[in-house]
Amino acid sequence: MDIKRIGIVGAGEMGNGIAHVFALSGYDVLLYDSDEEAAGNALALIGANIDRQIERGKIAKGKRSEALARIKVVASLAETADADLVVEAAFESESVKSAIFAELLPHLRPRTILTSNTSSISITRLASRTDRPEKFMGFHFMNPVPVMELVELVRGIATSEETYAALVGVTKNIGKTPASSADFPGFTVNRILMPMINEAIYALYEGVGTVESIDNSMRMGANHPMGPFQLADFIGLDACLSIMNALHDGLADTKYRPCPLLAKYVEAGWLGRRTNRGFYDYSGETPFPTR
């Protein structure tokens, strides 16, 4: 299937990055966000992120203007429908996503593939509310999108082989590695990563070690590039808690019980880097552990 133009719904953290990688790889992008400010900031942010890649020698200077010229910020959701593939990257809310699909579907061509970047909502359920479950898939990018190599391709129960093959091709074209995952909570990466982070929080909670000793243990003893608390603060503790809740609810196994200490940090509004405080405090020159 020939895919040339990509519609992206949501120009936040992920939508921005997704637009960035598609435009750099030669695809035309139609980018929409319901928040005018987010949409307005999108091109400037993508430009700044491309500049960083140029400084690091990752891409050639000439690519910047070409890539930016391929991104068109559009003022309505319906305008993203003029695409061969639509990637939904709006808030992680089933009602928000379903409302977007309901509004978009009457404008979509029958051949267009519809995807969601959701981290925790059932692809099969989202697909069932569309007119094209066989052309619907999970297209799960990792954060930060321009840096991370993997993209999880999540087939709902009705996704066709043709749709899956088309997304494998697109993923390779943007220089990423596709990983197939079945449609179960957390897909593959979060199913394994989040319980590890949650277990580190239990270890802290039970006094096995401190934030620093546990992070050092996993960095130097397991060769992880970041300790679990550094990583949790980077991801956002609210996101960690919501994915643990999705695993716990969706798989109904007590081994996924979110640590009460994680819930407490979220209740306090200590969400990690984004709020300047999580398992580390980021208010000074160097982060220092809060426990």
C-beta of 75: minimal distance to ligand NAD in Å?
11
Determine the straight-line distance between the first and last CA of the chain, rounded to whole angstroms.
53
Residue 181 as a binder of ligand NAD (CB under 6 A): the answer is no
Residue 46 as a binder of ligand NAD (CB under 6 A): the answer is no
Distance CA 52, CA 96 (A): 33
Residue 89 as a binder of ligand NAD (CB under 6 A): the answer is yes
C-beta of 37: minimal distance to ligand NAD in Å?
8
C-beta of 161: minimal distance to ligand NAD in Å?
25
Instruction: Please tell me whether residue 86 adopts helix, strand or coil conformation.
Output: strand
With contacts defined by CB under 6 A, name the span among 3-11, 53-61, 147-155, 221-229 that binds ligand NAD.
3-11
C-beta of 242: minimal distance to ligand NAD in Å?
8
Residue 281 as a binder of ligand NAD (CB under 6 A): the answer is no
Residue 83 as a binder of ligand NAD (CB under 6 A): the answer is no
SS (H, E, C) 97-126: HHHHHHHHHHHCCCCCEEEECCCCCCHHHH
Instruction: Please tell me whether residue 185 adopts helix, strand or coil conformation.
Output: coil
Backbone φ and ψ for 85, nearest 5 degrees, come out as: -145, 130
C-beta of 142: minimal distance to ligand NAD in Å?
6
Sequence-distant (6+) residues with CB within 8 A of 47 are: 64, 68
Which positions are catalytic? 119, 140, 152, 190
Q: How do strand 71-73 and strand 28-32 relate by DSSP bridges?
A: parallel
Q: Residue 184 or residue 205: which is nearer to ligand NAD going by CB?
A: 184
* Beta-ladder partners of 151: 141, 178
Q: Contacting ligand NAD (CB under 6 A), which of 6, 70, 113, 119?
A: 119
For the chain, state the CA radius of gyration. 20
Residue nearest to ligand NAD (CB): 12
Tell me which residues in 22-41 interact with ligand NAD (CB under 6 A). 32-35, 38
Residue 192 as a binder of ligand NAD (CB under 6 A): the answer is no
- Contacts with ligand NAD by CB under 6 A: the residue count is 25
Instruction: Please tell me whether residue 89 adopts helix, strand or coil conformation.
Output: coil
Which residue type is seen at 108? Answer: L
Under DSSP, the state recorded for 228 is H
Q: Contacting ligand NAD (CB under 6 A), which of 6, 7, 8, 14?
A: 14
Distance CA 102, CA 90 (A): 14
With contacts defined by CB under 6 A, name the span among 85-93, 105-113, 162-170, 171-179 that binds ligand NAD.
85-93
Q: How do strand 288-289 and strand 280-281 relate by DSSP bridges?
A: antiparallel
Binding site for ligand NAD (CB under 6 A): 9-15, 32-35, 38, 89-92, 96, 100, 117-119, 140-141, 143, 235
